[in-house]
């Protein structure tokens, strides 16, 4: 595990979890921008509380006053949640925000970058998205041994790009109890590479891959199909629900994933 202490602060809870091989679950801080105060604060606390209830350690990531925060404290979370102008930070923005001692929430590619630097191996997200026919997140994990748990892909057009790039870099797409990649608009997506039914087999897949030195991330798809067939909820709410739904699987994998070398 590498610490870049000059630029980042890792919460004591997370450092302790690394030493004790506890499951650490990384996720981005865009919820603070997606909802208004105090709803944004309550929703991010819901995620953190769920992780802790399952004996895991949450690692939300943000930038505050020019410091990268891995595991944002309650005091810092309140400060961020009340900011009226809080930019969404991509990895290209990080040096500037550190230079100018500014604050922001991290998008998913920046979250992966910062989380990987701090040693985190499990990340949760909602539906995968891309822009301008580019899936930029893959740059962060095509050579890094991490697992990303998603619930599918936002649209058919984005599926073409994302699946193309995953195949290009030999990133396996595993359906956890799913044959197909779910799409937000409910059209049937492409076949997953492998369907795995139980978490122990999923963990063993990761162990075999990485112990054989077949480097690179693994994309795990896990969607609550029944909930997502309903459209009463907004895009932001459904994404948030799926992140919450994926916590249990992330914790199960995280109990052993940090032992894999």
The answer to whether residues 193 and 220 touch, using CB atoms and an 8 Å cutoff, is no
pLDDT of 202 reads 97
pLDDT of 1 reads 46
pLDDT of 227 reads 56
**Cβ within 8 Å of residue 180, ≥6 positions away:** 188, 189, 190, 191, 192
pLDDT of 232 reads 60
The answer to whether residues 253 and 25 touch, using CB atoms and an 8 Å cutoff, is no
pLDDT values of the chain reduced to their tens digit, one per residue, 261 residues: 455 789 999 999 999 999 999 999 999 898 898 889 999 999 999 999 999 999 999 999 999 999 999 999 999 999 999 998 899 999 999 999 999 999 999 999 999 999 999 999 999 998 999 988 889 999 999 999 999 999 999 999 999 999 999 999 999 999 999 999 999 877 778 999 999 999 999 999 999 999 999 999 999 999 865 555 555 667 788 888 888 889 999 999 999 999 887
Owner of token pair 């995620």? 47
pLDDT of 229 reads 54
In terms of pTM, does the model score above 0.75? yes
pLDDT of 179 reads 94
The answer to whether residues 169 and 142 touch, using CB atoms and an 8 Å cutoff, is yes
pLDDT of 231 reads 55
- CA 208/CA 60 separation, integer angstroms: 29
């Amino acid at each position: 595990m590498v610490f870049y202490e000059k630029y980042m602060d890792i919460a004591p809870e997370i450092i302790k979890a690394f030493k004790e091989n506890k499951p650490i679950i990384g996720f981005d801080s865009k919820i603070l921008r997606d909802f208004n105060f105090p709803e944004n604060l309550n929703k991010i606390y819901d995620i953190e509380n769920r992780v802790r209830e399952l004996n895991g350690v949450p690692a939300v990531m943000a930038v505050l006053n020019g410091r990268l925060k891995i595991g944002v404290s309650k005091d810092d979370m309140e400060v961020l949640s009340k900011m009226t102008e809080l930019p969404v930070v991509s990895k290209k923005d990080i040096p500037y925000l550190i230079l100018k001692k500014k604050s922001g929430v991290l998008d998913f590619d920046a979250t992966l970058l910062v989380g990987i630097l701090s040693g985190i191996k499990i990340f949760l997200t909602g539906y995968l998205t891309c822009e301008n026919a580019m899936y930029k997140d893959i740059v962060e994990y095509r050579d890094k041994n991490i697992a990303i748990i998603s619930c599918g892909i936002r649209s058919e057009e984005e599926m073409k790009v994302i699946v193309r790039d995953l195949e290009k870099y030999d990133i396996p797409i595993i359906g956890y109890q799913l044959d197909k990649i779910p799409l937000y608009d409910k059209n049937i997506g492409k076949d997953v590479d492998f369907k795995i039914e139980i978490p122990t087999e999923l963990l063993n897949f990761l162990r075999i891959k990485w112990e054989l030195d077949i480097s690179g991330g693994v994309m795990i798809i896990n969607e609550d199909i029944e909930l997502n067939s309903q459209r009463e909820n907004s895009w932001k709410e459904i994404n948030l629900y799926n992140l919450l739904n994926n916590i249990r699987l992330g914790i199960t994998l995280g109990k052993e994933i940090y032992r894999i070398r």
